[in-house]
Amino acid sequence: MGSKINKLLNFFQLLGKAIMIPIAALPVAALMLRLGKADVWGPNLFGGNGIPWMVAAGEAVINQMNLLFAIGISVGLADDNNGSAGLAGAIGYFVFTNVTYSFAEQLYQGSSIIDMGVLAGMIAGIVAGLLYNKYKEIRLPQFLGFFGGKRFVPIVTSFVMLLLGLVFGGIWPNIQESINSFGNTIATSGIIGAFIFGFLNRLLIPFGLHHALNSIFWFQFGEFTTANGEVVTGDMVRFLSGDPTAGIFQTGFFPIMMFALPAACLAMILAAKKNRRKAVTGMLVSIAFTSFLTGITEPIEFSFLFLAPGLFLIHAILTGLSLAVTSFLGIRAGYSFSAGFIDYLLNFNLAERPILLILVGVVMGIIYFIIFYFCITKFDLKTPGRDEDDDNIEECKEKEEVNVNKLEDKEVAIKPLRSKLDKIAECIIDAVGGKNNIEHVDSCITRIRLQLKDSNKVEKSKLKQIGATEIIRLGKNNVQIIIGTVADPVVSRIRRIIKNI
């Protein structure tokens, strides 16, 4: 039973990582979409019409999010991230949606209009990715040999998605009605619905499952018909498309990411021991600024998650409260990447009461500072700078300069050191038991995800020395290293070292 739970948990972690691939395309598309809108430039520039071709460029991506999810998830789930899986995902999506719509129209005699939104892309991507892993090396009889291996994957995906299309064509109209009802209930419940989403959004972060939750609310719930007659779904896409009712599941994150968590960093700095305060200030200030500017918060959250889990629970509750308060006050804002200052400025003209949002942020910042400082000092919580076992930053910087002679005796494949990231990659391989102990490695924005043969070989102290904020063990073989926004380039180097490239 335990092994099945671990496998299921690992799958959802991989799915969360894969979902980030198509989501990564959204900020650029949203940037083009916003920069092309007339309200950005005012009535005196470009004839008051904005830049239509810029809008078209942004819509080209946003309007195809379902397909991008199918391609991105299938590639993300594929063992070797091969493009053949992406092709299978795209073909599977086309087959699935057309069969579903056609069968539902026939079955319900045209009385039901199906709109599966991004979920159709997710289903196609998941199926294609799993089928790729299963059949990528299949051997067929000699006269069919051309269709063997990776070429077989789009074929089998098409047949599987055809069957699933028939199934969903029969059941989805009723499911869609229930989903819309549930989504409308949460949306219309306002404060309660916003609180529940905000609370769960943060609570799932340690497991990397918040991306799956976000995709449902941001890309699935709710419908809006644009001026040109196109139907879009999801809180995020609807907001960017001009829906005046969208944003309830996004607005409350701005006070948390721009003000509250940076204030928590200030509290941790002031609560640090005097002889360690200078050492932790650089790190905490940098991740606080990152949170404010871009909305990337995991480096902050993982700096206290495992050192003071009670604080993280309070953080999750306060995040839900922030969403509830902004909903209650009628504030509406949205983003394409995360709730940072950049998105706040870009979408300022689409927002309602954006100045009031800043005031809420200041209040939340004060609340966070008081709660964090009080809890840390009162209960002697071992946040950065207070743990006797913490290595100060200067020490870490010195130890980042890898001693090549020491590593030569390890399983790490030593190459000429081209950069600091190469050194970090080599140290990580060494700290997790060598390249022969690594079965799979991936990354999302701030974390490195490892599937190991033996997680007991992981040396936490070494990972801390090279700048890891936290190390998470999930099950027997799964380990996540929170290392910040260098996660993706470091993983690329780890893969090259493993393959001796």
- Rounded distance, CA 238 to CA 225, Å? 9
265, 375, 427, 444: the catalytic one is: 444
> Within a 10 A sphere around the Cβ of 409, how many other Cβ atoms?
8
**CA dist 483 to 31, 299, 446, Å?**
27, 7, 6
> Within a 10 A sphere around the Cβ of 324, how many other Cβ atoms?
22
Give bridge partners of residue 450 from the DSSP assignment.
441, 479
What 3-state DSSP class applies to 448?
strand
At 229, which helix (H) or strand (E)?
none
Catalytic residue flag (residue 444): yes
The answer to whether 38 and 235 are in contact (CB under 8 A) is no
What 3-state DSSP class applies to 111?
coil
The answer to whether 441 and 449 are in contact (CB under 8 A) is yes
**CA dist 496 to 85, 404, 426, Å?**
21, 18, 10
The answer to whether 392 and 284 are in contact (CB under 8 A) is no
- Rounded distance, CA 235 to CA 224, Å? 10
Question: What DSSP line would sit under 234-286, residue for residue?
Answer: SHHHHHHTT-TT--TTTTTHHHIIIIIHHHHHHHHHHHS-HHHHHHHHHHHHH
- Rounded distance, CA 101 to CA 97, Å? 6
The answer to whether 37 and 478 are in contact (CB under 8 A) is no
Q: What's the Rg (C-alpha) of the chain? A: 24
DSSP strands (E only) in 307-446: 438-443
- Rounded distance, CA 412 to CA 497, Å? 7
Catalytic residues: 444
